[in-house]
Structure formats: C-alpha cells, structure tokens
Structure 1
Amino acid sequence: MRLANILHLGIKELRSLRRDPIMLMLIIYSFSLSIYSQARAMPETLNKAPIAIVDEDQSPLSTRIVAAFYPPYFLPPAMISWSEMDAGMDDGRYTFTLDIPPNFQRDVLAGRQPRIQLNVDATRMSQAFTGSGYIQSIVSGEINAFVQRYRRLAALPVDLELRVKFNPNLNKIWFNAVIAVINQVTMLSIILTGAALIREREHGTIEHLLVMPVTPLEIMMSKVWTMGLVVLVASALSLTVVVQGFLSTPIAGSLLLFLVGTALHLFATTSMGIFFGTITRSMPQFGLLMMLVLLPLQTLSGGRTPRESMPDFVQHVMLAAPNTHFVMLAQGILYRGAGLDIVWPQFLALAFIGAILFGLSLARFRKTLGTMA
C-alpha cells in the first residue's frame, strides 16, 4: 500500500463529490436545516394545543381552572356552550374539551368528589397522550390550591425533592438537536461511500482503476478517508454553528474528544457503505437497501428510546452495530461531559467493530473487482 496513491485517489473522490450537486445539497441540508427542523419540530411535545372549556359552574374555582391554561402548552381556552362541544370536536377545532359541571365548587368544598369531563381527540395521538396528563395535573393542582384556603390538608409523610441534571429546564430541543446530528453522521457516512462506489461502476471509471497500478485496499481506503472527512467536518460545523449557535444548545464535554470518537465511528460506517455498495448494482437498489438498514440502526441504537426498555435479545444483537456504541459515547460526552476515562469502552468497541467491518468489506470489494477484471 502506498500512501501517495491513497492521497491522490482521495483527492479524485473529493473532486467527484464537488461535481455532484445532489450529494452536496444532501450534505448541506442534512447538517443544517434538517438538524434545526428536527430539534424545533418535537412532535411529542405539547405546543399550542387547542382547548375549549364548558363552564357550567361560573364559580371562582372554575374561573381559576380556566385561567390556568395558557401558551405555550395550550392556546387560550375557547369558552363554549355544552351544545357546541361535540360539534367542535367533530370539526377538529379542539383537541381537548373540558366540561365543568354545575355546582362544582360547592361539591368540592363539601367533599362530595364531583367529576369533570375531559374529551380528547385521539386522532392527534402525540398531543392527546401528553396533553391528557398535563390537563389532569393542572386541574388537580388548581383544586388542591383552592381547597387549602378553606380546610387544612394532611401533609405527606415524604417530601420528594426533584433535581434535574444535564438538562435542568427539560428542554427537548437540547436532546433532539444532538440526537439529530448523531443520526445524520451514521446515515451520511454510509450513503456517501456506497454512492461513491456505485457512481464509479455506473460511470465506467472503475474499469480505469483496474488497469492502474493501484490495489483494492488503496481504492477502498481513499473512499473511506475522503467520505469520512467530509462527514466529520460537516458534523463539527453543525455542532458549532447550528446546535450551539442557532439552537443555543450547550455542549457539556469536549468537542475534540467527540470528534475523535466520531472518526472511529466513521471508520466503521464508511466500511459498511462500501460493503452495501458491492452488493447492490444501482442507486435505486442502494436506496431501497438503506431504507431496510438505517431505520433499525437509528431506532434500536438507544438514541430515541433507552436500550434498557428494549427486549434483551435486541439489546444483545445491537451491540454488534457501531452506532449503538457511538450513541453511548456521544451522549456521555455531549450531555454529561464525560471524559476518556468513562467512554474508553465505547472507543475500544468502535475500533474493534470497525476493523471487522473493514476486513469484511475489503474481502467483498476484492471479490467484486475480481469478477469485473
């Protein structure tokens, strides 16, 4: 293996990428607008949910409950009559309708435990699930605060002192922004390397390489380092400009340490891209394969859902995936400020998995070139 060949072939890959506007737009979009939109969208978060209230009591307590609903979680409540409630839900104007019955305050003070009716439009699943809990908590809190003015409530034997670490404001933008960068690193590194190999085959330039004094290892290494470098630089810029700049998301740990871990992860994922590029014959086939591969990788890696909540079999199988360890080290460094003394097992696992994937991809690449020669 000659480093000069790897360098020159890599420069050729960068020039080829520069002349591919579709890939360039994909890289720019994935690490800019995509990160921003994923962080800001937050479909699981309640935001300006439309709510209507039927106040049949017209008491100080019911007025207090109505005033407790305000942005950003809810829109200002629409005060409607009982006859308008079902029609508003059917038309989709309200996600929630709350019916406060007559004599509600009197029954509460008398200890009769009256009931409030809450209607939920479950077709808006994310808002319905989260909003129901919010409304129950708000109504219960207002009733308890109101009742305490009239009769003494028994104190709880235990007082829960809640302390939130790493994200004290429970701001989901902080979480979504970093996870989006992690997912884009995995996706782009596989797609770019696989597409680079398929592009060589479709343009017929792979035959030119076969007659040159270069080895399959040099060809593969050139694609690995160039595509890995592009994703590494793009992820660093995204964390600095988009995540820390536009989204104002703090990074707790060392950005340099994270980039070192990202480089190890890219060594593994770019090798995967080469492997997938050798078993597909065209870009449409490669795109279909990516749909089958990327979704399980991103869903089961622990980025969105804790691995501990998954079945044991899935947890054990996903240890063979490089992005499982990448998610662990990325969250440890960027969220909790972990150092090398904490994340070194993930670094070691990525190096080991990357070496295996690189060896398998090189063997497959040599076999593919042998059939074309």
Structure 2
Amino acid sequence: MQRLYCIFWLGLKEVMSLRRDWVMMALLVWSFTLAPIMEATGVASSVNNASIAFADEDNSPLSRTLATAFFPPEFQPVVQIEPGTGPTHMDAGRFIFIVAIPPGFEKDLRARRTPEIQVLIDATAMEQAGIGANYITNILSAEIHRFAIGVDLMDPPSINVILRSAFNQNRDTVRFAGIVALIGQIMWLTTILTGAAMIREREHGTIEHLLAMPLTPLDIALAKIWANAAVVLIAAGLSLAFVMQGSLDIRIAGSKTLFLCGTALFLFTATALGVFLATIARSMAQFALLVMLIVLPMLMLSGGETPVEGQPDWLQTGTLFLPSRHYMSASQAIVFKGAGIEMIWPEFVWMAVLGLALLMTSLFMFRRSVTQMS
C-alpha cells in the first residue's frame, strides 16, 4: 500500500510538472482541438460547396433539366451566365466549374447525333477540380441517359444497380477523418509526453534525486505511465465530447464509455513505448527522430489511412503485432458500427498482450539504464 501511495504522489508531481510546461500544454491543447478539426475538414476527398455556372445556348427542356441536377451540399446554386463569357468568369476566379450547352443540343440528341458539352474547370483548385470533373460527368451522363430512355431513344438497362452504403450512408468524409485524426493524436501525444518527461528528468538531473529516495526504477516508470496516460485520456474524452460531437457534429454510433475503455487500454501501451524510446535516446533530438521513425509507420499501417486489406499479405501479418492496428480497428467498430464488447474483445486482448510485453521490455530497459547511471 505504501508503494502505491508513493507511485500516486510521484505521478501527481508529474502532472504538476506538465502543467508548468507551457510548450507541452500548448501542444496538448492544439492536438485535441484545432488539429483534428483541420485534418477532418482541411483536405477534402469529395466535392463540397463548389461554385458552378451554366452557359445555356440551347435553352431547351433538357438543358434546363441539366442545370437543376446540381444542388448543395456538393455544389452551390447554379448561376446562369451569358454564352461566350465563360473564359472571362474563369479568369476572374468566380467559378470553379462552367458548363457550356451548345445550341441545338436537345435537337441533335433526338436526331441520334452526338452533341458535345463543354466543361471549363479551374484546375488551380486541384482537389476539387479532379474530383468535381468526375461528379459533373456522372451527373450529366445520368440525366441525359434518363432523358434518352424517356423519349425512346434507347432501351432501359436490363440491370439496375442500387448502391447502399453501410455505417456512413452519406459517405461523409469529415466523420471518418475526424475520428481517425483523434486516434492519431492520442498515439502521438501519449508517446511524446511520456518520453519527453523521462528525458527531461535526465537532462535536468532530477533523476538522481528520485533515485536517492526510497523509490525503485519500477515506481518511477509506473508513475510517469499512469500520469501521462490519465492526462491524455481526459483530453481525449473532452475532445470527443466538445470537438468531435460539438464542433464537427460527429455521431458516435456505439458506447463512448467502451471507446474510452479501449483508449485507456491502448494508452498504457503507448506510454510504455514512450518509456522505451526515451531509454534508448540520449537527447530530446534523438527521441524526436525515433518517434518519427517508429510512431509514424505505426499510424500509417494501423488501417486509418488505408485499409489493412489493401496491404501486402506479409505486411498484414506484421501489423498484427502493432497495438495501433487493434486500437484503430476496435475504435472504428465502436464509433461507426456501434459494436459492443462481444465483437471487439479479441482486439482488446491483443492490445493487452502486446501492451504487457512492451511494458515489461520498457521497464527492463529503464531499470538497466538507471542501474548504469547509479
């Protein structure tokens, strides 16, 4: 009991030390507020609120129907412009897309000729331009195809494909990217905070003061692990409530308590990794390089950026030994699919086993490092 009492107060001392470190506090606040918002909304993988104009020289029922096929949230309300003024508007940057319907378009189509539609694209908006070109092509093709069937220019298709999107019906990229960004920040921050705390003790010489007390290397490491894990867990919970659900309006399908329990389990793995890297590194610069070398690949291979199934077979087997993969899989199942513990318990077991192994290795390395110092 006395030992647990010492670990608790030593961890509380770590929290107070973190509170006085304004750089780390600023990094903590940034990582769980603005950083997820910017990652979720800054890079668009779909068309959103794109400006579009129509230069309709045909003024037929079909051309007017084509103009009404574009609507929010993908596109702004269609603006009708004078024919021939498209390049001028494009040069002025007023529209990203301009659709020009030639005269006699519907007449040529009814005569079974092949009329052309011109689409001007402002390619300086690279993401929107590339994706929007496919959007516009598909929308125009679908409307013309529907018109051709209605006037008996062609037979209806023998097969009608109906797409149903599970767990994200509107295919909202913000919802998915926001949660993935939050999970990534949890991993980054936990490893950085724990490792920086260990190296700070060594650089300031306070590690010798701790060793002069009736404390073991195990007590020191455990105190730093629980303190930094608790800080990140509280920050993650607040970010989930106020940033994910509040600012980004992300709906959590499953249990938030279960998500935080999985996060707490993963945090002990990430803090153990921070202790391990801080034991190997001899300075803060070396520690930063090790974080980039190890944590970044773990995030990239976890299944958040690209599906694990899309990786080579040998690499998929290797990712089974990454706690980040199991945490990402469990978190996505809880948040998007509403999964319960009966579905994700294997991921929790994997995290517990890998975390225990990494914790034992980190404590062994830290104990040996402290012994060499003394």
Q: Do they fold alike, i.e. is TM over 0.5?
A: yes
Displacement, 1:73? Answer: 2.0
Are positions 1:79 and 2:81 aligned together?
yes
Contact 1:69–1:77 at 8 Å: present in 2 too? no
Residue 184 (1) aligns with residue 185 (2): yes
- Could you say what secondary structure the match of 1:320 adopts? coil
Would the alpha carbon gap of residues 290 and 53 (structure 1) be closer, same or farther in structure 2, given more than 3 Å must change? farther
Deviation at 1:20?
1.1
Alpha-carbon distance in 1 for matches of 2:92, 2:278: 50
1:310 alignment partner in structure 2:
311
Q: Does 1:19 align with 2:47?
A: no
* SS of structure 2 residue aligned to 1:156: coil
Q: How does 1:1-373 map to 2 (within 5 A)?
A: 2-75=3-76, 76-77=78-79, 79=81, 81-82=83-84, 84-85=86-87, 94-151=95-152, 153-373=154-374
The farther-off stretch of 183-192 and 294-303 is 294-303
- 1:94 CA displacement: 4.7
Q: Are the aligned partners of 1:70 and 1:77 in contact in 2 as well (CA < 8 Å)? A: no
1:310 Cα deviation after fit: 1.9
Instruction: Classify the secondary structure of the residue corresponding to 2:254.
Output: coil
CA 1:251 to 1:91, structure 2 compared with 1: closer, same or farther past 3 Å?
A: same
* Structure 1 residue 24 displacement after superposition: 1.6
Query: Structure 2: how far apart are the matches of 1:259 and 1:130?
Result: 36
Structure 1 runs of 4+ with >6 Å offset:
none
Extract unaligned runs of 5+ from structure 2: none
Q: Residues of 2 paired with 1:91 and 1:207: CA distance?
A: 67
Pick closer, same or farther for the CA change 1:307–1:89 going to 2, 3 Å. farther
- TM-score between both structures, scaled by the size of structure 2: 0.90
The residue identity in structure 2 corresponding to 1:21 is W
C-alpha distance after superposition, 1:92-139 (max 9, x if no partner): 655434343343211111122323233445553321332122101211
Instruction: Say if 2:269 and 2:359, in contact at 8 Å, map to a contact too.
Output: yes
Distance 1:147 1:15, change over 3 A: same
Instruction: Provide, for residues 6-26 of structure 1, a one-character-per-residue CA deviation record: whole Å limited to 9, x for no partner.
Output: 112111111111111221222
Superposed CA deviations along residues 132-184 of structure 1, whole A, max 9, x for unmatched, are: 22101211122233334422642333333433332223222222222222111
Instruction: Call closer, same or farther: CA 1:199–1:95 in 2, change over 3 Å.
Output: same
**Over aligned residue pairs, what C-alpha RMSD do you find?**
2.5
Q: Does the 8 Å contact 1:51/1:78 carry over to 2?
A: no
Query: Which residue type is aligned with residue 26 of structure 1?
Result: L
Question: What does the per-residue CA deviation read over 1:80-103, in whole Å, with 9 as the maximum and x for residues that have no partner?
Answer: 654753x76667655434343343
SS at match of 1:98: strand
The number of aligned residues is 372
State the shift of 1:328 in Å: 0.5
